[in-house]
Amino acid sequence: MYTHFRLLISTALVAATCFFSVPAYADEPAQHEPNKVTEGINQAEHKIEHNLEESEAKFNIGEMIMHHIADSHEWEFTHGVTIPLPVILYSADRGIEVFSSSNFHNDHHEYNGYHLVHGDSEKIVPVDESRVVYDFSITKNVASMLLSAFILVFIFVSIGKSYQNNKGKAPKGFQSAMEVIILFIRDDVVKPNVGPKYEKYLPYLLTLFFFILVNNILGLLPGGANLTGNIAVTMTLAVLTFIVTHLKANGHYYKHLVKPDGVPVPLLLIMIPVEIVGVFMKPFSLMVRLFANMTAGHIILLSLFGLIFIFQSFMIAPVISLFALFLNFIEIMVAFIQAFIFTLLSSMYIGSAIEEHSHADHGH
């Protein structure tokens, strides 16, 4: 898109140069007109290219966006305020090595035979390519996940103690607010979709909801990590739902995959592959939906702020800031909605796998 935009601007400016250059040389002899016009066009093209290259060198919005949404071996809260994270490597020849990522802060980004490669995602590779190294480092996303786990444990341990200390009393304060959310997930999401055996799956689904919600909100804070915008994280959550669904599924669920009710035998050659593909498309849709929505929100917000540096105008900064603030409130709403949708669909998948079917149901 940027290349097409750049080409369009260049073409428009060159066309404008031609339009204003031709009258200027109207009084000159005819044999000199093409050379002077061509020279003017070339100068305009060179000037445009130079300005665009200079602008790109000053600020690269694509690089800025990828830097903020990608994982990293250090946690940058704002420009110049960075916390180095521990690097943990294992190799057969050296064993376990632990050191700070700040050691890579040099011109070559190298330390102790390792090289920190910057790109769409940071990775540490050995300088000697023949070595096999396993990276177990605490990256920004890992640190954010540990932080969210600590927050969840702290919240629910505190709520549990409040219930023990206030038996027989109405909840109040933060306990009251959390009770509303928990009862909503239990009574309006899990119970109707899972069925009578919902209590067995309620802890997992509540954990799923609050884990996604907390990490969605943390990702919107300044300097926050884009954990739920990491497809490896959303894939893990989707796979967990897939495992729970198929470990607890009853015989009717598996029978439905190979012999759907009411389907004529000749159509089974078509329906069986469709049903099997559908089994894997459910976790795939869970994974992609959460990843795409959270990543898209971060990209839009960062793109808006990047426009301030591209235009370099104090006039446009307040307008973009207000619009970005409005979008940030929309993103907070999306954070709740995506946690709700992921939990709702997970409960529906589990409920469809454990649902009991009687003969009366089949006849009906």
pLDDT of residue 16: 44
- CB count within 10 Å of CB 305 equals 16
Domain boundaries along the sequence of the chain:
2-58, 86-137, 142-363
At position 105, the amino acid (one-letter code) is H
Closest listed residue to residue 351, CA positions, set 261, 253, 278: 253
Backbone angles phi, psi at 113, to 5 degrees: 85, 10
CA pair distance 290, 209, nearest whole angstrom? 12
CA pair distance 252, 246, nearest whole angstrom? 12
Q: Are strands 110-111 and 95-100 parallel, antiparallel or unpaired?
A: unpaired
Instruction: Please list the residues that pair with 308 across neighbouring strands.
Output: none
Closest listed residue to residue 118, CA positions, set 127, 128, 103, 108: 108
- Specify whether the CB–CB gap between 232 and 298 falls below 8 A: no
Write the DSSP string, 72-120.
-SEEEEETTEEEE-EEEEEETTTEEEEEEGGGG-STT-EETTEEEE-SS
Backbone angles phi, psi at 90, to 5 degrees: -135, 135
pLDDT of residue 18: 43
Tokens of 271: 């329906």
pLDDT of residue 57: 52
CA pair distance 284, 246, nearest whole angstrom? 15
- Specify whether the CB–CB gap between 329 and 224 falls below 8 A: no
Cβ-Cβ contacts under 8 Å for 339 (sequence gap 6 or more): 209, 210, 212, 213, 216
CA pair distance 86, 137, nearest whole angstrom? 6
Q: Are strands 114-117 and 74-78 parallel, antiparallel or unpaired?
A: unpaired
pLDDT of residue 35: 55
Tokens of 312: 């370099």
CA pair distance 316, 46, nearest whole angstrom? 29
Q: How do the pLDDT tens digits run along the chain, 364 residues long?
A: 444 434 344 444 334 444 344 433 344 444 444 455 556 556 655 655 555 555 445 667 777 777 777 888 888 877 667 888 999 999 988 899 999 988 888 888 888 889 888 766 778 888 888 888 898 999 999 999 999 999 999 999 988 888 888 777 777 778 888 889 999 999 999 999 998 889 999 999 999 999 999 999 998 888 888 899 899 999 999 999 999 999 988 888 888 887 777 778 777 788 888 888 989 999 999 999 999 999 988 888 888 888 877 777 777 888 888 888 888 899 999 999 999 999 999 999 999 999 876 543 444 4
Handedness of CA 311, 316, 320, 323 (dihedral sign): negative
Report pTM: 0.77
Instruction: Please list the residues that pair with 91 across neighbouring strands.
Output: 95, 133
- Specify whether the CB–CB gap between 191 and 201 falls below 8 A: no
- Specify whether the CB–CB gap between 339 and 213 falls below 8 A: yes
For 45-87, what is each residue's pLDDT tens digit? 565 555 555 544 566 777 777 777 788 888 887 766 788 899 9
